[in-house]
Amino acid sequence: MRIEKKSDTVVGRFAPTPSARLHLGNVLSALLSYLSARAAGGKWLLRVEDLDAARCPFMGENTKWLLDDLAWFGFSFDGEVLYQSERADVYETYFNVLREEGLIYPCYCSRAELHDAARAPHRGDGVFLYDRRCLLRAREGIAPPSGKKPAYRVLVPDAIVSFTDGVQGAYAENLERDCSDFVVRRADGVFAYQLAVVVDDALSGVNEVVRGNDLLSSTPRQIFLQKRLGFATPRYFHIPLLLDAAGRRLSKREGDGCMESVRAKYKTPGLVLGALAAAVGLLPSPESCTPEDLIALFSWEKIPRGDVLLPQGF
Ligand code: GLU
């Protein structure tokens, strides 16, 4: 009898949303996901999260720059680039699985109503607790507004989802109380990030997700969807946010940390990578390096949990 050994090859990925030119915070996610996968002899995939291409006229241009910026740094990815804008039929299949499980309901609330429908103040990450008014109305037999296209929400249980993040440690959330039913398909038909990310990671065989700490609180929702869809849960590493040398958030408006200004200023990628590596403790001080140079120096134990600062002058 042949025993199938489960593959333990690390499959990591970088999954930016090209709504703007790449930013040094994104580059740090690219770098750490790349190093973690490569240090383990694994694969590193690239997925362009251009779901909202119709609404964002610069997606195409930004995507070209994204590929150019990654090549400039010397990041090499495996396989074909996956474009979310081409995968609506795939998301639809899994949306229908959730629907058949009775987990999906239409929500006709307008922006103003949603404000009203919040059971509690918004959380820091912009999530508010929806009071399920559209579900309750439907259960009472109240007809939905005619001619209005609904968004679709997934019904979450009163249950705790917990996981151990490789950087941030234990994290838990009660889906109903801390998050409530969330949108998986918008009223314009576009599938939401939470569903697309889960489907794509699973179908691509991704078993390691490295991304910014601002997405930590999305993870319980994604684990819930994985369980409902019969997908495995990857290992998660939510990395520190990158601040300027004075501890301020890099401001997109002022172009801080935007690859356009970074490339104009530094001309070559080595010092930029060195600055990022020093910010997260992979190098004692910023010095010019390539992604390959950093593979042997990489270990998750070195990566701090809290925000990190760029060196002076960046
Ligand atoms: N597309 C998301 C972003 O650029 C990241 C998604 C993820 O890594 O799960 O913020």
- CB-ligand 1 contact for 17 (6 Å cutoff): yes
What's the gap in Å between 215 CA and the centre of ligand 1?
8
Domains of the chain (ranges plus CATH)? Answer: 11-86+240-309 (3.40.50.620), 90-94+103-185 (3.90.800.10)
- CB-ligand 1 contact for 15 (6 Å cutoff): yes
* pLDDT tens series, the chain, 314 aa: 455 555 689 999 999 999 999 999 999 999 999 999 999 999 999 999 999 988 888 999 999 999 999 999 999 999 999 999 999 999 999 999 999 999 999 999 988 888 777 766 667 677 788 999 999 999 999 999 999 999 999 999 999 999 999 999 999 999 999 999 999 999 999 999 999 999 999 999 999 999 999 999 999 999 999 999 999 999 999 999 999 989 988 866 566 789 999 999 998 999 999 999 999 999 999 999 999 999 999 999 999 999 999 988 77
- CB-ligand 1 contact for 49 (6 Å cutoff): yes
Q: What is the 3-state secondary structure (H, E, C) of the chain?
A: CCCCCCCCCCEEEECCCCCCCCEHHHHHHHHHHHHHHHHCCCEEEEEECCCCCCCCCCHHHHHHHHHHHHHHHCCCCCCCCEEHHHCHHHHHHHHHHHHHCCCEEEECCCHHHHHHHECCCCCCCCCCCECCHHHHHHHCCCCCCCCCCCEEEECCCCCEEEEEECCCEEEEEEHHHHHCCEEEECCCCCECHHHHHHHHHHHCCCCEEEEEHHHHHHHHHHHHHHHHHCCCCCEEEEECCEECCCCCECCCCCCCCEHHHHHHHHCCCHHHHHHHHHHCCCCCCCCCCCHHHHHCCCCHHHCCCCCEECCCCC
User: What pTM was computed for the model?
Assistant: 0.94
Q: Which of 85, 211, 214, 242 for a ligand 1 pocket mutation test, highest count of atoms within 8 Å of Cβ?
A: 211
pLDDT digits 0-9 by tens, 43-86: 999 999 999 988 888 999 999 999 999 999 999 999 999 999 99
Ligand 1 atom nearest the C-alpha of 201 is 9
Nearest C-alpha to atom 4 of ligand 1 is from which residue?
A: 16
Ligand 1 atom nearest the C-alpha of 211 is 8
- CB-ligand 1 contact for 154 (6 Å cutoff): no
